[in-house]
Amino acid sequence: MAYVTCPWCLTPQLVGDDVAGYQCFTCYGEIQFFVCPDCGFIQTVNKKWARFICSNCDSVVELPRRWGYAPGAQAYRVQGAGLSWPKL
């Protein structure tokens, strides 16, 4: 089991190691794992966001309209939670 944090409500959650996304138990957000193209940091992001701020390198990252499942972006490899853009 992986212990990941929802980027929207910042609630830690237990999910299966090999899942590519999940629904938050607290805010019901659709969360997926995304690899930052600049630094390679794997983080949780909300699927409804158009862009986010990488929590490692602080770069603004555009999210694709249609999401695929990157083989490296699995729950057990997540390192942090992305930040909403613009910062609130």
Q: Quote the pLDDT of residue 87.
A: 79
Q: If you average pLDDT over residues 71-84, what whole number do you get?
A: 85
What is the band of 25 on the pLDDT scale with cuts at 50, 70, 90? very high
Q: Quote the pLDDT of residue 70.
A: 66
Distance CA 67, CA 88 (A): 25
Domain positions in the chain: 2-84
Q: Please give the angle made by the CA atoms of 39, 55 and 72, to the nearest 5 degrees.
A: 50
Measured on CA atoms in the order 39, 67, 4, 2, is the torsion positive or negative?
negative
Structure tokens at 39: 């630094």
What is the band of 69 on the pLDDT scale with cuts at 50, 70, 90? low
Q: Quote the pLDDT of residue 37.
A: 92
55 has pLDDT over 90: yes
